[in-house]
Amino acid sequence: MDAFLTERQRQLPPDELGRYRVLVGCTLCVVLLNLVLALSASFFREVSVPRFALGLVMAAFFGMVLGVLRRGRSLRPASMLVCCLLVAGYIGATFAMPHPAIASHATAMLIPALAVYLMGVRTGLVVTAFFCLNASVFLPLSLTGFGTLEPLFARPGQWASGVMDAFVLLLGWGVSALFCYARDEAIATVRENERTLRSLLENTDDPVCSLDPQGNIVIANAAARRMFRRAFGREVKRGDALDEESAEETRATWRAALARTLGGQPVRYEIPFQQEGRPITLDLSLHPIQGEEGRAVGVTLFGRDVTERKRAEARLDELHRNLVDMSRRAGMAEVATGVLHNVGNTLNSVNVAATLVMEGLRGSRAPQLVRAVELLREHEARLPAFLLEDDRGRRLPEYLASVSQHLMKEHERLLVEMQGLARNVEHIKSVVSMQQENARFGGRVEEVPVPELIDDALRLHATSFEQLGIRVQRDYAEVPAVLVDRHQLLQILVNLLSNARHALMESGRKDKQLSIHVRREGAERVLRIEVEDNGVGISPEHLERLFAHGFTTKKGGHGFGLHASALAAEELGGQLRCESAGPGQGATFIIELPLREQASREAME
């Protein structure tokens, strides 16, 4: 049916387009019926020629409706023409075939209902009035031959039946009118909600898109259209693919994220992007659009330009690297990195808490309480009359109660934030204290309880592990203390925990798990420490070069952490190695140290 509509008409809202389609469908059905009437004329010898001519003429008239529909700017002219033809044809049939069943025929109900749907309640009432007159006046008159065959009121039952048919037609019009009113009200509500939602989406600075299951654009807000125009130099169109000019690696990542989202799982990740020749970073959040059967029928994409945040993070990372270099020259590089990272995460929490407290104070309703007091002072001379007679005075107690309740909640919320702030500051103090305690032992061999040292290293990463949702599993067997340089072993552990954190963070898994196993290899008198994660894993070709100086697979990595850790393990008389089943399978770093505590103790004595 859309083939009979113009492109402009096919772009109309769904309710308007539905009316156009109903009109086209009804017109085609009537044209088909008239053509059948014309073709069947040969079966009626007495009236074959009139029947053939009538069918062709009516088919031509109804065919004209389609032309009027395509040329008209609105639906009303074509609808009016269809209804007039149907009314004229039906009333003509009443005079051509006078029979009591004409008025109660199903068509007599369908045509007024169609008129109400296409042209509205009032115009539908006019059409219904013609049918009511036909049933209650024209048909009884036609049956009596307008008084020539028998007296007009010789058959009162026919007149009563006509009146009843007219009443039923009016009831049909009423039901159709109720349906139209309910439909129009529902459409108005939907359109109001659409306007509100569109206003929200269009006024945000973040790009928002609706995508089909193939990842092509269905709807894009103003921010998304601007970003598309700057990136590709043209306006976005329905059906455009977001990855049409992306690199193969970026396209593969996008397709994988899209597939996971269509599987029902929300996905969030960052992607590099070129806009007007400059690189930017987008934080993309993909959410499935659920269909009636619970299956994903599309994707909603929310984006955010985090380039400035990334630059700030890069500057912060540069500052950290400078601090690490200074710490390495003092002999505490890797441990200091862990401390700075932990303190930095805690400081972020402190900053967030302080910002929330400041925003809470800025948005406090205490000034409103001051204005209420000023209002009371202003009417102090006539306070009883003000509270009883003035509208503002009568509302003042309720307003004060509301403000007081809000201030109490505000006080409780700020108190909770300050308590969290105090806990974070206390955590920073404990981290610094622990670092100072461990730094005293650098360069000296001593008996070290390995489980306790591992717990110290874990505390350096406790905040970041908690924020990332990393679950730590400890599996410590009964092992003796070992004679090692405490600082060197702590440096190795901190570095391995930091690598595991990065691997888990980049994996995007929800079940991030870090397992630490400590056990004794009895026959070889070796202490074995395993740091196992279920993160991104390591490719086989990278395993051979993993401990080489300058080699790294991390973005922004420097490539000397694992190399320095392997050298430190050799200085302790042991070794550091790695096992991984491949990408996505996690990795296990193994520290093996000799259990020489007894011989070393005797030598020291």
Contact predicate 475/517, CB 8 Å: yes
Confidence of residue 603 (pLDDT cuts 50, 70, 90): very low
pTM, full prediction: 0.41
At residue 517 the predicted structure's pLDDT band, cuts being 50, 70 and 90, is very high
Mean pLDDT value across residues 180-198: 84
Residue 303 CB coordination number (10 Å): 20
How many other CB atoms are there within 10 angstroms of residue 190's CB atom?
A: 13
What's the CA gap between 134 and 108, in Å, rounded? 10
pLDDT digits 0-9 by tens, 312-328: 888 878 876 775 565 44
- Give 524's pLDDT tier (boundaries 50, 70, 90): low
**For the chain, what percent of residues have pLDDT higher than 70?**
82
Kindly tell me if the per-residue pLDDT of 116 is higher than 70. yes
Q: Which has more confidence, 254 or 356?
A: 254
Could you tell me which residue, 48 or 112, shows the higher pLDDT? 112
Task: Report d(CA 345, CA 4) in Å as an integer.
Answer: 65
| Lowest-confidence region among 144-148, 329-333, 507-511, 570-574 | 329-333
Please state which of the ranges 75-89, 233-247, 470-484 shows the lowest mean pLDDT. Answer: 233-247
Q: Are 495 and 544 in contact (CB under 8 A)?
A: no
CATH superfamily of the 208-305 domain: PAS domain (3.30.450.20)
According to the model, what pLDDT value does residue 431 have? Answer: 60
Of the listed ranges 53-67, 170-184, 450-464, 557-571, the least confidently predicted one is: 557-571
Grade residue 516 by pLDDT with cuts at 50, 70 and 90. Answer: very high
Distance CA 79, CA 469 (A): 64
pLDDT tens digits, 117-148:
888 888 888 888 888 888 788 878 877 777 77
Token pair, residue 208, equals 């928002």
pLDDT tens track for 203-232? 888 888 888 888 888 888 888 888 888 777
How far apart CA 596 and CA 576 sit, in angstroms, is: 18
CA distance 88 to 67: 20
Distance from C-alpha of 267 to C-alpha of 285, rounded to nearest angstrom? 6
The tens digit of pLDDT for each residue in 404-413 reads: 787 788 778 7
Q: Where are the strands (E) in 178-266, listed by range?
A: 208-211, 217-220
CATH ID of 442-604, from 3.40.50.1970, 3.30.565.10, 3.10.129.10, 3.40.50.720 = 3.30.565.10
pLDDT in tens, 292-315: 777 888 898 888 888 888 888 888
Q: What is the pLDDT of residue 108?
A: 74
Determine the average pLDDT of the residues in 477-487. 85
Residue 460 and residue 498 in contact, taking contact as beta carbons nearer than 8 Å: no
End-to-end CA distance of the chain: 101
Q: Which of 510, 503, 494 is nearest to 588 (CA)?
A: 503
User: In the beta sheet, which residues pair with residue 447?
Assistant: 483
**pLDDT tens-digit readout, 255-277:** 888 888 888 889 888 887 777 67
**pLDDT at residue 605 in the model:** 43
Got the DSSP string for 330-357? TT-HHHHHHHHHHHHHHHHHHHHHHHHH
- What pLDDT is attached to residue 601? 46
pLDDT band at 473 (very low <50, low <70, confident <90, very high): very high
Residue 474: predicted pLDDT? 93
What pLDDT is attached to residue 435? 60
Confidence (pLDDT) at 389? 73
Q: Which residue has the higher pLDDT, 383 or 447?
A: 447
Alpha carbon distance 574, 250 (integer Å) = 42
* Average pLDDT, rounded, for the chain: 78
pLDDT exceeds 80 at position 336:
no
Average pLDDT over residues 51-75: 81
The answer on pLDDT for 506 being more than 80 is yes
Phi, psi of 531 (to 5 degrees): -115, 105
Q: Which two tokens stand for residue 344?
A: 């930095």
What does the pLDDT read at residue 331? 42
3-state SS of 360-395? HHHCCCHHHHHHHHHHHHHCHHHHHHHHHHCHHHHH
Asked if 261 and 215 count as a contact pair (C-beta separation under 8 A), the reply is: no
